[in-house]
């Protein structure tokens, strides 16, 4: 499997990407669109990250911004951004989640500037029966913005799931003993 780098001199720093010619096929529009988005995100990263932390803007510090900027130079980033243009979830989300009722928790920051939180919650409630949804006063990264709150929600949820599993296991043992 040979890897070839597309090199466009001036743009090499922005657009360098390992490409396996046999495996990867993408349209010029998709290729170009992903790189334009990447260039835009790199230019505005500080402003965009701070918008994602509306309740605790101090959590969007220089270290976080520098780490995100550094990670944006990973050679796989343009490929991920290309998927924005060709995303195809052939299996509906509700079908994927129907067998895991109450074993899935979604913690939604209601001040998320990237997505419409109310619409997301409404869609999940309508199509994903049994998924536990916790709405909190945070932005796009609630686990980083309000980690204490998110951790307590996760701990409570784990305790509830474990209790349900143990209750089911105890019932199974009792039924087995009764039938013997």
What are the residues facing 136 on neighbouring strands? 109
First and final C-alpha spacing in the chain:
60
Q: Which residues pair with 18 in a beta bridge?
A: 5
Q: What is the pLDDT of residue 157?
A: 93
pTM reported for the whole predicted model: 0.70
Most trustworthy range by pLDDT among 3-7, 16-20, 132-136: 132-136
């Amino acid at each position: 499997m040979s890897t070839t780098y597309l090199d466009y001199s001036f743009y090499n720093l922005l657009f360098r990407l390992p490409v396996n010619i046999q495996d990867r096929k993408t349209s010029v529009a998709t290729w170009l669109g992903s790189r334009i988005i990447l260039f835009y995100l790199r230019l505005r990263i500080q402003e965009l990250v701070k918008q994602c932390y509306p309740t605790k803007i101090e959590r969007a510090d220089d270290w976080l911004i520098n780490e995100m900027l550094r990670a944006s130079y990973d050679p796989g980033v343009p490929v991920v951004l290309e998927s924005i243009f060709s995303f195809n979830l052939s299996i509906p989300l509700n079908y994927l989640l129907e067998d895991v009722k109450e074993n899935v928790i979604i913690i939604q920051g209601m001040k998320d500037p990237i997505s419409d939180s109310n619409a997301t919650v409404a869609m999940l409630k309508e199509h994903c029966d049994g998924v536990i949804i916790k709405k909190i006063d945070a932005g796009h990264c609630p686990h980083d913005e309000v980690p204490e709150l998110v951790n307590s929600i996760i701990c409570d949820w784990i305790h509830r799931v474990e209790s349900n599993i143990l209750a089911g296991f105890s019932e199974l043992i009792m039924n087995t003993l009764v039938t013997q």
